[in-house]
Amino acid sequence: MNFTKTTEQTSKYDHLEKMTVNELLININKEDKTVPLAVEKELSSIEMLINAIVPKLENGGRLFYMGAGTSGRLGVVDASECPPTFGVSYDLVIGIIAGGEKAIRNAVEFAEDSLDQGWKDLQEYNITEKDVVVGIAASGTTPYVIGALKECNKNGITTGCITCNKNSPMGREAQFPVEVVVGPEFVTGSSRMKAGTAQKLVLNMISTAVMIRLGRVKGNKMVDMQLSNHKLVDRGIRMIMDEIPVNRETASKLLEENGNVRGAINSYLNGKNG
C-alpha cells in the first residue's frame, strides 16, 4: 500500500527569512484556516471512534492516549483537563508520553523509537480488554505507538489513532483510525503547527463528546467541574442561579454545602419536592 508522508513534504512557501512579520503571520494564518476543513472530512471516523469509547467507559474501562513529542504532550493535556472540567477521576482518561513525565517539558532522545516500550508503559496501568487506547502521531510512523497498538490488538483491547497522513503504519494498525490530512507545514516538517492543531481539535471533540454522552454536562453547563479557583466558584454560582430561582447568597451556600453545581441544584430540587 502506498504511503506518502504529507506532513514531511516541502512547504508551499520559501525564503521565510525574507518575509516581514506581517507576511509571516498572514501566511501562517492562511494555512491554519485549512485545518478545521480537514477535520470536517474525518467527522465520520471520529464518530466511530467515540462510539467505541463510550460503552467501554460506561462499563468501567479507561481511555488511554499515547504519543511522543508534541503528539504525546497534546494527549497529556487533554487527559489532564478532564477531571477539572467534568469532575471525573484522574484515572479515567490517562495520557502517556514516550520518555515519561520528563518528556512533557524536554525532548527525550530516541524515546519514541522503541517498539516494545509503549506496551510496557501500558502494562504499568494493568491495562485490560475493558480499556481503549488511542495512539497519536502526526507522521503515523512512531514505533513507540505502533508497537503498543499491535500488542493491544493481540490482547483484545480496542484501539484508535489520530494521525495526519493517509494509510500510515499506525493508521493500518488501529481499529478506529482518524486521519486528518492537513498537508505540508508552513515550516517544512514542523508538525507541531497544522498537524498539532488538527490533533488538538480532534482530542477536544473526543473528550467533550465522550463526557457529554457519559452525562457529565447538563444542558450546556459543566455541572461536575472542580471548584479549584475563585473564577470557577463564581461561574458555579451563576450556573446555579440560571437553573433554579435563588439569589447569589443562597446559590453560594448551596455550592459550598454540596461541592459542585449538580449537587447544589439537586439538593435544592429534592428539598423543594421533599
Q: Give the residue numbers annotated as catalytic, written as ranges.
A: 81, 112
Cα torsion 120, 124, 128, 133: sign: negative
Residue with cell 467501554: 56
The C-alpha angle with vertex 210 and arms to 209 and 213, in degrees rounded to 5, equals: 85
Q: How much is the CA Rg of the chain, to the nearest whole Å?
A: 21
> Residues with Cβ < 8 Å from 1, sequence gap 6 or more?
167, 172
CA 242 to CA 195: how far, in whole Å? 39
> Residues with Cβ < 8 Å from 147, sequence gap 6 or more?
114, 115, 116, 117, 118, 119
Side-chain half-sphere exposure of 14, counting CA atoms within 13 A: 2
Q: How is 61-81 classified by DSSP, letter by letter?
A: --EEEEESHHHHHHHHHHHHH
CA 203 to CA 192: how far, in whole Å? 15
Paired sense of beta strands 63-67 and 93-97, if any: parallel
What are 153's three cell numbers? 490488538
